[in-house]
Amino acid sequence: MRFGVRQFELALMHRMRDLDAARVEDALEAMGATRAELRAAHTQWTAMAHSARAPKGRAMFRMALGPPAYEGVRHAGSLTCDVACWRLPSWPDLRYEVLLGPGGEVWNQWFVRPGAPRMLSFAELVSWGCVVADVAASFPGTSHREGSAPHHWTVGFAHEGTHYRARFVYGLYQRLDLAEGDPAASGGDSARSEGDPD
């Protein structure tokens, strides 16, 4: 089965189901896709990533998504990495960015916003509405850490005296949880949890 843009989007959404299953269900309906198609796309992308015969690095993304909308270089400390970005139909305002090391290995892949970050109010934190840089720019004193599953990321911040954890998958905002240890959490850190991890 050919693996193209539609299948790539579904493979991303399969991981997003970890944190916001309801939002993914809405997207599947809008795409006319099924859960079986979602699982098949994830399985195929994972198999290609581990196949010795499949393209690797930038070539793997080009195979699925075609030529990048943008290619360039970026300095990361003393290192220089290649950058490639693609437009995806389900997220037209964003770009899917892949950072590649000197040997062509994928260092990172996630959604970014072209140009300057979007400044957000607390009420504007809605699923799929922003990326990591938007939240970091909008709320002072943010902290960053990797999530508990592949391609998860967490940004911690305080708002009106309450501490939160903004949860992202592939750099795309999914949900907001109360921070562990915050008295307002009252026994958990899932203030707005929608959907259960696989």
User: How does pLDDT run across 149-193, given as a tens digit for each residue?
Assistant: 889 999 999 999 999 999 999 999 999 999 876 555 444 333 333
**Dihedral angle computed from the Cα positions of residues 190, 192, 196 and 198, in that order, rounded to the nearest 10 degrees:** -90
* pTM, full prediction: 0.88
Element (H, E) at 16: helix 5-16
Whole-number pLDDT of residue 125: 97
Whole-number pLDDT of residue 92: 97
Q: Is the pLDDT of residue 111 over 90?
A: yes
Sign of CA dihedral 56, 58, 61, 62: negative
Has residue 196 been placed in a domain?
no
Of the three residues 11, 38, 54, the one that is the final residue of a domain is: 54
**128 and 179 both lie in a single domain:** yes
Q: State the amino acid at position 5 in one-letter form.
A: V
Has residue 197 been placed in a domain?
no
Range(s) of the domain holding residue 161: 122-185
The CATH number that applies at residue 82 is: 3.30.1450.10
How many domains, in total, are found in the chain?
A: 3
User: How does pLDDT run across 20-60, given as a tens digit for each residue?
Assistant: 999 999 999 999 999 999 999 999 999 998 888 888 889 99
Has residue 198 been placed in a domain?
no
**48 and 1 both lie in a single domain:** yes
Has residue 195 been placed in a domain?
no
**21 and 50 both lie in a single domain:** yes
Helix, strand, coil fractions of the chain, as percent rounded to 5? 30, 30, 40
**20 and 37 both lie in a single domain:** yes
**Dihedral angle computed from the Cα positions of residues 72, 96, 89 and 165, in that order, rounded to the nearest 10 degrees:** -150
**140 and 127 both lie in a single domain:** yes
User: How does pLDDT run across 57-105, given as a tens digit for each residue?
Assistant: 899 999 999 999 999 999 878 888 999 999 999 999 999 999 998 888 8
